[in-house]
Structure 1
């Protein structure tokens, strides 16, 4: 008799992956992204390390940053109560 491989399906992991896939097409501004990851310095370090893709709208000094929302969410700081 053949063996049947049973893979466990974790609904929470599937839901989280679906959220990341939807958010791949979205962006956050620098301020929002910094709040999510835990500060401007942390955000800038993640961008410099290539962990988060970010671009400025144009070359103007005051143009807004556009940070990949899914990548920002993957680096979300721990928000649980201590």
Structure 2
């Protein structure tokens, strides 16, 4: 009996393969990559495949989930402080 253990690189490759057929919307993708501006830059550079099937202004984006996860960024932003009313 062989004992096959997957390395973390193997697991990551499996995740990318499975998520290649999935899509995220613009807001979810922007949240994962670290902001709307960064998402637009990555799409413009061709690093994230995205399509917008309709030409209307409010049309839904379909960003490739595998590409989005490749460029995921950790957000270190602190939550806003809420001012107390006097």
Choose from 51, 54, 57 the match for 2:53: 57
Runs of 4+ in 1 over 4 A off after TM superposition: none
Secondary structure of 1:67's aligned partner: strand
The alignment status of 1:46 with 2:50, answered yes or no, reads no
Gaps of 5+ in 1: 1-8
Aligned residues: 72
Q: Report the Cα distance in structure 1 between the residues aligned to 2:44 and 2:13, rounded to whole angstroms.
A: 25
Secondary structure of 2:41's aligned partner: helix
CA RMSD of aligned residues (A): 1.7
Gaps of 5+ in 2: 77-86
Residue 24 of structure 1 is matched in structure 2 by 20
| Alpha-carbon distance, 1:25 to partner | 0.3
Q: Report the Cα distance in structure 2 between the residues aligned to 1:42 and 1:25, rounded to whole angstroms.
A: 22
TM-score (norm 1): 0.81
